[in-house]
Structure 1
């Protein structure tokens, strides 16, 4: 087990060894086990539904940052959404990524039809990055590093996750992903969040526009005060 974990650690960011009481079927099952939270969270018989991509969410004010691995675990499923910030573990997307994703997803479809946690991850990322702009948002946030075929076409990243999750049979979803999707949909649909994001993007995106916007607000306030004072003197 120690030798096997050491071999796979170069693609799994030095994961901890699985507990001794866990039964491992073969190497693909070992890779899946190394990616899982221990113990895995509960599931519900619901479909995952993230209504907006990363670019739309970013324009609504959602921030994307890398969720740093803890000293004991670096699971790719360690995601959390709080106060408008989505934390996602870093992932490297290269020519071999689709291979191990397809193998693990196929394993779950056959042997873990009610505990397909890696499939949940693929579906979530697939719904989060639907276009090149969505991929750009996660690349700029440092969440995704891509090295596919030596090219620079970010759309290939979105296509990868779209292809892997095609024809996937789903019976349930991790409650963690369901909660994150519900919270992010609610955040986007909140008019206040959209207005504040537009204000920051259009009027406070650079130091100069910030100074100009503040000066304009101060001038408007002074004009109102002067008008009120003039009316009071009449």
Structure 2
């Protein structure tokens, strides 16, 4: 564990530029070699079976600094979230690197995470398991046809909301490492009772609104999915396969979102307005035709009023 811990610390420090005293031709830590192997190492460091107790990293850093512990969580943040501005110092002591990474996926820009967030009391569990049914969520294309707009929220996978006909979803980059990352985070949630199920809930929700490549294309045009994985069909297949035979307890926030979406879709006015927009306002030509028709109708009314008034004046 000491050897693995030293290797992990050295890889992360070198990859983020904190250390650069290796020869350019070093077989592991040389800058050109590291550029090639760092993505694979970062992926393997998230495998559940490869998790090293992060306490080992804390102690190694303390030994190196004469008893002073630098924040290993911040090192993980710089390695996995190089563009992220939020500080991981608020996360406190975690279990392992995957635990830190998962919490990073869920953090909102303005929130401060506390250790007690991981613990759920008996009353909370009763509320969650008391919900036996949930509304059926349609695909993104169907929701769009029902008048629902999609907008990006933040990078936090928990930041899903619905209000005033707008469904806000977190921005996600889908690439070759996405499947492995989600599978390991979801497995960790299932095996660790205090981790809860936020990542699994997010993936399940995305599986519900993504049925095919048209749904992915719609979310891509709205800036929600950044596809660096392949075709839109491949992304749809990825999300659909992640949730095969996956069951999870109810998630209070997403249950509320699904309920509000379902109520929105049931209202006749919203359906009629969406149908009108889809039929008459989809292209500029149909809008011009409708405007011309309304203008001619207004002229006809004005002519009729003028004729009546002239008749009474005589």
TM-score normalised per structure 1 = 0.83
1:112 and 1:48, CA in 2 relative to 1: closer, same or farther beyond 3 A?
farther
1:28 and 1:114, CA in 2 relative to 1: closer, same or farther beyond 3 A?
closer
Alignment counterpart, residue 270 of structure 2, candidates 182, 187, 193: 193
Partner of 2:226: 145
Contact 2:173 2:227 in 1 (8 A): yes
SS of the aligned residue for 1:64 comes to strand
> What stretches of structure 1 of length at least 5 have no aligned partner?
none
Partner of 1:91: 172
Answer yes or no: is 1:121 the counterpart of 2:207. no
Alignment counterpart, residue 4 of structure 1, candidates 73, 76, 88: 76
Answer yes or no: is 1:28 the counterpart of 2:98. yes
Answer yes or no: is 1:54 the counterpart of 2:126. no
Partner of 1:206: 283
The structure whose RCO (Cα within 8 Å, separation 6+) is larger is: 1
In the comparison of the two structures, how many residue pairs are matched?
223
Partner of 2:90: 19
Query: Which is richer in strand?
Result: 1
Aligned pairs for 1:152-171 (under 5 A) are 153-171=231-249
**CA-CA distance at 1:227 after TM superposition:** 6.3
Query: Which is richer in helix?
Result: 2
**CA-CA distance at 1:112 after TM superposition:** 2.9
> What stretches of structure 2 of length at least 5 have no aligned partner?
1-71, 108-112, 119-123
**RMSD of the alignment, in Å?**
2.7
